Amino acid sequence: MKLLSAAVAIGFAGLLAGCDGPSETGMTGYKAYSPLSPETIALMKAKDTDQNAPMLIRAYKKEAEFEVWKQKKDGTYVHLKTYPMCRWSGQLGPKRTEGDRQVPEGFYTIAPGSMNPNSHYYLSFNVGYPNAYDRAHGYVGGNIMVHGICSSAGCFSMTDKQIEEIYAVARDSFAGGQRQIQMQSFPFRMTADNMAKLRLDPNMPFWKEIKRGADYFEVTKQETPVGVCDKHYVFGASPKTGRFDALSPCPGLNTNRDTEAAIAAKEAVDDKAVAELVAKGTKPIKIVYADGGQNPEFTHRVAEVSRPDALAAGAQEIALDETPKAKPALVQVAAARSKASVPSAKAAALQTADATPTGTVVAQTSAAAAPSPFTAAPSAYASTEPKSETDGFFHKFLNLGSGETPEAAPAIVAAAAQAAPVPAPAVEPVKKPAPKHIVARNTHAKPTTALPAAKAPAPAEAAQAATPVSPLVKVAAAPSPEAIPAH
């Protein structure tokens, strides 16, 4: 009977999923029926829960960790597993616009119809962005997923093996009668150390607001009741009359006094710890990423992730000044990033060609920024994840045997593109339409512009054109739309 319920849930999900394109094999989502391992079932039993009990998700971007919790028989939730996150993109802070590559932060709802068994990204489910809070603030975008393939443009990206198990846990929870799964997404673990270091970040007021929702769960170990009114989250309360309206003033609220007292006590302890760290000299910082990060467990898997060159740069911690006459944090960060910026390729080339020995700048390529995928350490998952998964990533990149195009090229191809001299066109660029196989509603970024060839090449350019170019460089140098495939 449970198998029948699961099959009905999966079939219903396939009809309503936000990214309902066919899988790369052309078959139905057979992966979505993969059973949980005996080890995971035994772990559930040891923690006084079972396959069909409700689940809850908590994710942390800075630490790149993805937690799954299950409800025990007494109604409270117990931590089941923490999965290291293979890839997330953007910066710390909420998602606001389409194509900003931001992984959303806040409280979201996953419904049975959010599950996509036919995902191009192995398996996936939609987290429910934008929610009522996001819409009230005018934030736009959509199709934010938890999926496999280890490629992110605003999504929570896991390995195929991880998403297969997470998907199965969610599938069995829905089969057991759970109507919605709550997902709590945070910029980082809300520790005193993180709150102290990032105290001047412009997003801190928002982070303090969602911390209260995190505190509710940590105090009660029950799903956090969430409402939105007056453009703010309301946690652990219900309206005395009517219902919440995200744009209207908050109504009178019904709350549990004991719970509110316990949360206030926790907040007081946390605030004291932050104050003590500041008094001891903890300096305020701003953390800046080239484009997101990943859990340290995956640093050796360079060849399998999207934008490995961005990951190689790591997180940059910019020290901020909090003296009374200090400039705003945003101005300080902009100034710090401007000083650290690398000269453009054109400027570097001009300075390198200058015969004057002083002020000479040697241009650096991205090949030096990211370790070569061929020298990376062997995968820790080599015994459990077949090589076909890695091959599949490159097949998707080269668009071989798949109807999709990933949003970023591996570092080895990016390096080859820089090695190939490409003459600058003398005419204005024109937009090149996206390939027909890309579904516009499932993209995160607009196609890039294609550059037409110059009508008459200069003599130097003609000499370059006569030099043989490898097929790999040709693939990398060819213009292509930067479109994101269906999940």
Q: Which residues are catalytic?
A: 147, 155
At position 271, the amino acid (one-letter code) is: D
Q: Which residues are registered as beta bridge partners of 87?
A: 157
Q: What is the C-alpha separation between 217 and 263, in angstroms, rounded? A: 10
Q: Say how far residue 55 (Cα) sits from the centre of its chain.
A: 21
> Which single residue is written with the structure tokens 């080599």?
382
Residues 6+ apart with CB under 8 A from 248: 229, 230
Q: Say how far residue 146 (Cα) sits from the centre of its chain.
A: 8
Residues 6+ apart with CB under 8 A from 178: 54, 55
Q: Say how far residue 171 (Cα) sits from the centre of its chain.
A: 22
Is residue 131 a contact partner of residue 95, using CB atoms and an 8 Å limit? Answer: no
Residues 6+ apart with CB under 8 A from 392: 24, 149
Classify residue 333 by its DSSP letter. H
CA end-to-end distance (rounded Å), the chain: 30
Is residue 68 a contact partner of residue 182, using CB atoms and an 8 Å limit? Answer: no
> Which single residue is written with the structure tokens 């790591």?
314
Is residue 68 a contact partner of residue 169, using CB atoms and an 8 Å limit? Answer: yes
Residues 6+ apart with CB under 8 A from 177: 52
Q: What is the C-alpha separation between 209 and 179, in angstroms, rounded? A: 26
Report which secondary-structure segment, H or E, holds 277. Answer: helix 257-279
Question: CB atoms < 10 A from the CB of 462, how many?
Answer: 11
Give which of 15, 55, 81, 66 is closest to 171, Cα–Cα: 55
